[in-house]
Structure 1
C-alpha cells in the first residue's frame, strides 16, 4: 500500500502529496496541474511548473503560481 491509501484526514492527504503533481480545480471550473510547493491553513496554494486547463484543453503554462484558497473547489493527486 502506498501512503495515499493510508491517509485518514485531509491534512494527512495533503502532507503525502506535498512535492508531488496535483490537480487543483477552481470554483470556476478551471484546472491547474503542477507540483504542490506549499499551502497554508487557508488553503492558499503555491504550485510550480503549472499548466492551466480550460474545458480540458491546455491554455497556458506558468513557472510558479499562487492560488487563493477561497477559489479552490478541490485538490487531487494527478497520476
Structure 2
C-alpha cells in the first residue's frame, strides 16, 4: 500500500458533442431533415426546438416519398409527430 492520498473521483464528463443534446445544439440555425411518423419529410433551417421536441423551421419544404410537394416558409412541427431529426449536411 502506498502512503499517497487517494486520487479524487473523476469529474463528470460534459455532454459530448456526439450526444443527442450536443447534436441538437449544433444543428440550430442549420439545415435539417425532420422525418415524421407518417414518413413525410420536412427540410428547412432549424430555428428552435423545446424539450418536447416541438420544432420551428424556416424556409421549409415538404417531401412525400422523396418528391417535393410544398414550400411553407416558416413551419411548426409538434414533437409527438417527429420520428427523427437529421442534419442535411455534415456538421
> What TM-score does the superposition give when structure 2 sets the normalisation length?
0.79
Q: Runs of 5+ in structure 1 lacking a partner?
A: 1-5
Q: Runs of 5+ in structure 2 lacking a partner?
A: 1-15
Give the counterpart of 1:58 among 34, 57, 68: 68
Aligned residues: 74
Higher strand share: 1
Select the structure with the greater relative contact order (CA < 8 A; seq sep ≥ 6): 1
Greater radius of gyration (CA): 2
Superposition RMSD in Å? 0.9
Give the structure 2 partner of residue 13 of structure 1.
23
List aligned pairs for 1:1-79, cutoff 5 A.
Answer: 7-79=17-89
> What TM-score does the superposition give when structure 1 sets the normalisation length?
0.91
Segments of 4+ in structure 1 off by > 3 A? none
